[in-house]
Structure 1
């Protein structure tokens, strides 16, 4: 992987604390596809062995462990894995997505990649997937969340301005792949004859503070910190948060009072993601 992100201990701690999880519908769709059914209620089995690539601190890995007998979480960052949640049926391994040689051929039932494919050398990764997936039914599952949306018109415009103007120059070309839901590289996916896509709408109620904390985990914020320093990033996020508060409270006043600030920053808002889930099966 040529993009060593999420490796510093301070950033991986933030990632662990604030990175949101994924809706259960993703895992239900994976199970239906793996077990060749259209009804999750008919599935009373677990997938034997799954590997979650670029698992970070285990957001998807832990969810998968409820549906699999055994899960291996793989990430290239040792600091990410130090933050990972432990469970009896999960093990973690530090390795890049393009180097899965520690796994024997034809040994894995399910390979998952949660909002991370854009950081890989895709051709090398798919070669590894084809080597480790079991034939006649091994499943590759790839999904991405894209950018969030807000149910407040002014706040949504504020978010777009923040992304396009304030973080200008901090976005890797690779991030555009996931923002566009990998549409430009779908022809590179393996097992095209079996590939299907589910579009999943996912809403969460977060406080304004929680939402800004999520944004801080983004790779362009990490890049902004590298370019301008931690204090400048905190200042940028603070200004963005205050502007969001004004959108949701329709206030034009500065937010100066400590008590009022605590209240307004904890105002709950609805955040929405559109997730494209791609499923394909090795024949």
Structure 2
């Protein structure tokens, strides 16, 4: 991974606190694909060994541990791994996605990448995946969670303005790949004859305070902080939060205290594109 993101200790702390977890439906789709079943209720066993690449502080790793016998979470940031959730059947290893040489060949049942592929040297990564996955049964699972959608039209305009104008010039070209759910690079994905996609809608209630803290974990906010400093970023996020509060106050019939609105739950929605593919002898590259 050539982009040293999510490494500063304060940033990894808010990453752990505010990054959302993924829905159960996503993991059920993975199990159905791995076990060649059409209904999760038909599955009463676990995937033996999974590797979660660029696991961060373990948002997906901890969930995978409920469906897998053992999970290895891998991330290039020591500070991310210090924040990671612990469980008896999870181990963590500090390494990049392109360096999986410590894993034996043909040994892994499942490799997952949760909204991180855009930061990789994908050709090198896919070579490593092809080496470590078990032939015929090994599954590669990549998903991308898109931009958040708000249940308030004026708040959506504020969010769009924040992303397009306030954070202008802070977005890496690579982020466009995840915004577009990796569609521009699907031709580079391995095992095309086995590949399928699921589109999963996921929504979550959170306060405006929590939502703004989630936004702060984004890489363009990290870049803005690098360019303008922490104080300027805090000012920008405070203005963003106040603008959102105003939108939700205007959508109610009562005059409500802003602090109350700041703690009121709002609905945030995401569209997740889940790409599943299986290593086959005839389809490897």
After TM superposition, the score normalised by the length of structure 2 is 0.96
Tell me the CA shift for residue 261 of structure 1.
3.7
Measure the CA separation in 1 of the matches of 2:146 and 2:176: 9
Residue in 2 that maps onto 1:19: 19
Is 1:263 matched up with 2:257? no
Measure the CA separation in 2 of the matches of 1:146 and 1:122: 19
Measure the CA separation in 2 of the matches of 1:147 and 1:274: 8
| Corresponding pairs, count | 277
SS state of the match for residue 7, structure 1?
A: coil
Measure the CA separation in 2 of the matches of 1:112 and 1:156: 31
Measure the CA separation in 2 of the matches of 1:64 and 1:114: 11
Residue in 2 that maps onto 1:255: none
Q: Residues 185-204 of structure 1 correspond to what in structure 2 (within 5 A)? A: 185-204=185-204
Asked if the contact 2:248/2:261 (under 8 Å) is kept, the reply is no
Residue in 1 that maps onto 2:58: 58
RMSD: 1.2
Is 1:121 matched up with 2:121? yes
Q: Residues 201-280 of structure 1 correspond to what in structure 2 (within 5 A)? A: 201-250=201-250, 260-280=257-277
Measure the CA separation in 1 of the matches of 2:111 and 2:59: 15
Residue in 2 that maps onto 1:34: 34
- Structure 2 runs not aligned, ≥5 long: 281-285
SS state of the match for residue 272, structure 1?
A: strand
Deviations 1:22-46 (A, max 9, x none): 0011100000000000100000000
Residue in 2 that maps onto 1:98: 98
Asked if the contact 2:245/2:258 (under 8 Å) is kept, the reply is no
Correspondence for 2:278 among 269, 278, 281: 281
Deviations 1:82-114 (A, max 9, x none): 000110000000000000000000000000000
Measure the CA separation in 1 of the matches of 2:7 and 2:96: 13
Which contiguous aligned blocks of 4+ residues in structure 1 show a shift greater than 3 angstroms? none
Tell me the CA shift for residue 153 of structure 1.
0.7
Measure the CA separation in 1 of the matches of 2:92 and 2:257: 43
- Structure 1 runs not aligned, ≥5 long: 252-258
Measure the CA separation in 2 of the matches of 1:117 and 1:220: 17
Measure the CA separation in 1 of the matches of 2:143 and 2:29: 12
Tell me the CA shift for residue 132 of structure 1.
0.1
SS state of the match for residue 192, structure 1?
A: coil
Larger deviation, residues 51-60 vs 208-217: 208-217
Deviations 1:220-264 (A, max 9, x none): 01111111111111110110111011111118xxxxxxx934212
Asked if the contact 2:13/2:83 (under 8 Å) is kept, the reply is yes
Measure the CA separation in 2 of the matches of 1:151 and 1:86: 34
Measure the CA separation in 2 of the matches of 1:204 and 1:218: 18
After TM superposition, the score normalised by the length of structure 1 is 0.96
Tell me the CA shift for residue 218 of structure 1.
0.4
Measure the CA separation in 2 of the matches of 1:175 and 1:152: 25
Measure the CA separation in 2 of the matches of 1:29 and 1:193: 18
Tell me the CA shift for residue 146 of structure 1.
1.4
Residue in 1 that maps onto 2:130: 130
Residue in 2 that maps onto 1:143: 143
SS state of the match for residue 73, structure 2?
A: strand
Measure the CA separation in 1 of the matches of 2:72 and 2:134: 15
